[in-house]
Amino acid sequence: HCEVRASSMDQMDGGGAGRRVKVVGKVERLDGQSLTYSEFVDRFMKPNLPVVLTGLTSSWPSCEDWTFAGPDDRRRPNLPFFAQNFSSPRVQVADCSAREYTDHKRLEMSMQEFVDHWVRNSNTVSSSGHGEASSLYLKDWHFVKEYPDYVAYTTPPFFVDDWLNMYLDSHPMHRDSDIANYKNEVNCDDYRFVYIGAKGTWTPLHADVFRSYSWSANVCGRKLWLFLAPSQSHLIFDSRNLRSSVYDINEDVSEKQFPEFNKAEWIECIQEQNEIIFVPSGWYHQVYNLEDTISINHNWFNAYNLHWVTTKLQKSILKTSAIYVIILRRFVNATWQQIQA
């Protein structure tokens, strides 16, 4: 049958006409000030459902310090402030125009280099008369860990029962300042991140690490989220290679490789400035920055999703050990043949 394909711009503008994926619902939005913790547990954390919460960031210093006032009450990233005050020598940056396996190609650069690249690109005027936004997306920046004395935000009460970060805080991995340990240290030590991306940067389809929960707050900017419930996650896997899933729901997804993809029913959300989204365990999601966006994001688990995390870890251990068995068998065979030769 013939289907009109939405361009990626339609998708990124949240436009409906000709959309390619089937969107069947929107994420609920609630005032976080009047929601109680037990309501949050009963309605979202326990049943593992997404929600957007408003009104929880008004006292965050980051919302002022990291942004400029822009038109229509929309704030814009204050990049010089980052270059001046948080001049990290190495930040992880995804190049959203380049795929590497299941993710974007990752680069490392200094904060200053990231800011310079952004400014250079926004000053370049293309034939359409608009600046070409940078395709570089600063991700997984361990901000709290790198700048512990600067209080950028306070974790909303709904997300403080966090065994993952609590555990990692009390079991520091490498505390020496040896540069060789730097990369290892920032990768292992917590799951509290800052993301900075120009309009058009995006995150490919994925479910979060160990099937943890995540929450993500827009300090400024807007994001378009597309979610798939865990009961449907089998629909986005390769029919022959169950380890491989769809990378970009907006591209021409091969029907041969992913025969059930068109059956998937997506839940959509446009997350505005200062709103916080709760991402439940095991929900696949793809995310677009509809404006230049700064977000703060934690991954965590607790009693309500521990079963998701342990099941996932058990499966990964089984898979990894199966791979080792195959490699070991090949090694033994090769060695045996060498001995016989």
Ligand X SMILES: O=C(O)CCC(=O)C(=O)O
Please report, as ranges, the residues that interact with ligand X according to CB under 6 A: 195, 203, 208, 214, 216, 223, 279, 285, 287, 295, 297
User: By the 8 A CB rule, do 141 and 108 touch?
Assistant: no
**Can you tell me the distance from the alpha carbon of 274 to that of 272, in angstroms, rounded to the nearest whole number?**
6
Amino acid symbol at 66: W
User: For residues 258 and 283, which CB has a smaller minimum distance to ligand X in the complex?
Assistant: 283
Compute, in degrees rounded to 10, the torsion defined by CA atoms 183, 188, 189, 195.
70
**Can you tell me the distance from the alpha carbon of 278 to that of 134, in angstroms, rounded to the nearest whole number?**
27
Q: Please, what is the minimum distance in Å from the beta carbon of residue 202 to ligand X? A: 7
Q: Please, what is the minimum distance in Å from the beta carbon of residue 275 to ligand X? A: 12
> Shortest Cβ contact with ligand X: which residue?
203
Q: Please, what is the minimum distance in Å from the beta carbon of residue 286 to Fe ion? A: 9
User: For residues 135 and 216, which CB has a smaller minimum distance to Fe ion in the complex?
Assistant: 216
- List residues bridging with 265 in a β-sheet: 22
Per CB under 5 A, contacts with Fe ion among 168-197 are none
Q: Please, what is the minimum distance in Å from the beta carbon of residue 299 to Fe ion? A: 8
User: For residues 74 and 174, which CB has a smaller minimum distance to ligand X in the complex?
Assistant: 74
Report the sign of the C-alpha dihedral through residues 120, 121, 123, 124, in that order: positive
- When CB distances are held under 5 to 8 angstroms depending on the partner's kind, the choice from Fe ion, ligand X, none that residue 287 binds is ligand X
User: For residues 14 and 324, which CB has a smaller minimum distance to ligand X in the complex?
Assistant: 14
- When CB distances are held under 5 to 8 angstroms depending on the partner's kind, the choice from Fe ion, ligand X, none that residue 142 binds is none
User: For residues 134 and 203, which CB has a smaller minimum distance to ligand X in the complex?
Assistant: 203
User: For residues 88 and 216, which CB has a smaller minimum distance to ligand X in the complex?
Assistant: 216
User: By the 8 A CB rule, do 305 and 208 touch?
Assistant: no
User: For residues 57 and 286, which CB has a smaller minimum distance to Fe ion in the complex?
Assistant: 286
Strands (E), 174-247: 192-197, 202-206, 213-220, 223-228
Q: Please, what is the minimum distance in Å from the beta carbon of residue 31 to ligand X? A: 21
**Torsions phi, psi for 46 (to 5 deg):** -65, -50
Residue 5 is given by DSSP the state: P
- Radius of gyration (Cα) for the chain, nearest Å? 22
Q: Please, what is the minimum distance in Å from the beta carbon of residue 10 to ligand X? A: 19
- When CB distances are held under 5 to 8 angstroms depending on the partner's kind, the choice from ligand X, Fe ion, none that residue 216 binds is ligand X
User: By the 8 A CB rule, do 203 and 286 touch?
Assistant: yes
Mask for 198-217, x = binds Fe ion (CB under 5 A): ----------x---------
- When CB distances are held under 5 to 8 angstroms depending on the partner's kind, the choice from Fe ion, ligand X, none that residue 62 binds is none
Two tokens, residue 336: 């045996």
Q: Please, what is the minimum distance in Å from the beta carbon of residue 328 to ligand X? A: 35
**Torsions phi, psi for 180 (to 5 deg):** -65, -25
